[in-house]
Amino acid sequence: MTIKDIARLSGCGVSTVSRALNGSREISEQTRERINEVIRQYNYTPNGNARRMRQSSAKTILLIVNGSSNLFFSPLIEQIQMMAATSGFQVAVNYIDEQEDEVQFAVRLCAEQKPAGVIFLGGDMRNFQKSFAQLTVPCVLSTANAEELGFGNLSSVSIDDSDGGRAAAQQLFDQGHSRVGILGGDLSSIGPSGLRYGGFCSVCTERGMPVPESELCAYTFSSAYEAAVALFHKCKGMTAVFAMSDIIAVGAVRAFLDMGKRVPEDISVLGFDGIELAEYSNPRIATFAQPLHQISSLSVRMLVNMIENDAEASHVTLRAQFRSGGSLGRI
């Protein structure tokens, strides 16, 4: 039984269940009782985050996870908890829906629970621009670059997403692909998808290639599957797809196989992130792997340094590394 199971069985959002378990006063009694009924029925034992935070909030870090089904975040969450424990901190994990404002969510929790600091796993940069000034505790934005925002209490650990997009384009073009489609999130954003897309397009310009066709999708298998089918019909003659995440890549491969296409003989798929599932997919997903251990260890180390030593905000940018796989072929 997980928090996602409770959300499904109670008919509530993951973030609502998370707030209920953490003792938030913003949950109506009717909703709280519906959630508690599921907890009683299935003998679910909460991890005690809310109780421990009230007892020792000075040694508690809030971890706000954007999205409840992102497989890329799962190992990061585990590693952040382990790293924090070695520094004497406990971590309260809070999941929010992808459309929810993670900054306003943090503002509410900080007012209620008075944590020592906050780590954001993912997020919409527009929300940080709009209202992060309301947060005064030390914070780290993990997997996105916050340097240009200029907040003195917001550090960040990120991948050079623009460079990753450029590397993806070079990899595909060097394999002989000239008709490429792109699957991803909001490509116009200043977040990872937008930066990767911008980097990819910059290589297209340098090589005289047309701007690639694209299809918007969420970071789920089902959304990627549907988007891949739509992209295939829209982008005639497409021989390769750059998926903004491995989850999207896996969904796209399944879609192409179900359409009777061979991967990579008829169409190649290149992913991004380096999640474990990509290693065990058939075919194995060619991808750009993010350094998970570095991201998690730096996120915790930087936050603890801000909490204990009043350190200034700092920003680290890492690089993803290409990992070959059977989903990518040469024309």
Instruction: Summarize pLDDT for 15-52 with one digit per residue, the tens.
Output: 788 778 766 666 787 888 888 888 878 777 655 544 44
Region 109-117: what's the mean pLDDT? 93
Region 210-214: what's the mean pLDDT? 93
- Compute the distance between CA of residue 155 and CA of residue 126 in angstroms, rounded to an integer: 16
| Closest to 287 in 3D by CA, of 320, 322, 256 | 322
Helix H or strand E encompassing 324: none
CB 255 within 8 A of CB 278: no
Residue 50's pLDDT is: 47
CB 226 within 8 A of CB 252: no
- Compute the distance between CA of residue 326 and CA of residue 331 in angstroms, rounded to an integer: 14
Region 130-151: what's the mean pLDDT? 95
Give helix 49-56 / helix 102-113 axis angle, nearest 10°.
60
Fold classification of 3-160+292-318 (topology level): Rossmann fold (3.40.50)
User: Is the predicted pLDDT of residue 197 greater than 60, yes or no?
Assistant: yes
User: Is the predicted pLDDT of residue 174 greater than 60, yes or no?
Assistant: yes
- Residues making up the chain, counted from first to last: 331
Helix (H, G, I), strand (E, B) or coil at 229: helix
Region 188-208: what's the mean pLDDT? 91
Give 217's strand partners: none
| Closest to 320 in 3D by CA, of 213, 163, 211, 176 | 163
Fold classification of 161-289 (topology level): Rossmann fold (3.40.50)
The encoded tokens of residue 245 equal 């995440």
Domain ranges of the chain: 3-160+292-318, 161-289
141 CB-contact burial (10 Å; exposed 0-12 / middle 13-18 / buried 19+)? buried
Residues 119, 87, 81: CA angle, nearest 5 degrees: 50
Same fold, 3-160+292-318 and 161-289: yes
Q: Whole-prediction pTM value?
A: 0.80
Residue 24's pLDDT is: 66
Q: 21-25, 96-100, 210-214: lowest mean pLDDT where? A: 21-25
The encoded tokens of residue 6 equal 């409770």
Distances (CA, A) of 117 to 16, 140, 315: 21, 8, 16
Residues 269, 71, 99: CA angle, nearest 5 degrees: 100
DSSP 84-129: HHHTT-EEEEEEE-TTS-HHHHHHHHHHHH--SEEEEES--HHHHH
The encoded tokens of residue 39 equal 């907890």
Region 248-259: what's the mean pLDDT? 98
Give 216's strand partners: 184
CB 118 within 8 A of CB 143: no
- Compute the distance between CA of residue 236 and CA of residue 330 in angstroms, rounded to an integer: 19
Residue 42's pLDDT is: 76
User: Is the predicted pLDDT of residue 55 greater than 80, yes or no?
Assistant: no
- Name residues whose C-beta falls within 8 Å of residue 167's C-beta, 6 or more positions apart in sequence: 199, 288, 320, 322
Burial 172-188 (b: 16+ CB within 10 A, else e): bbebebebbbbbbbebe
Q: 13-27, 137-151, 205-219: lowest mean pLDDT where? A: 13-27
User: Is the predicted pLDDT of residue 282 greater than 60, yes or no?
Assistant: yes
Helix (H, G, I), strand (E, B) or coil at 289: strand
Kindly report the average pLDDT of the chain as a whole number: 91
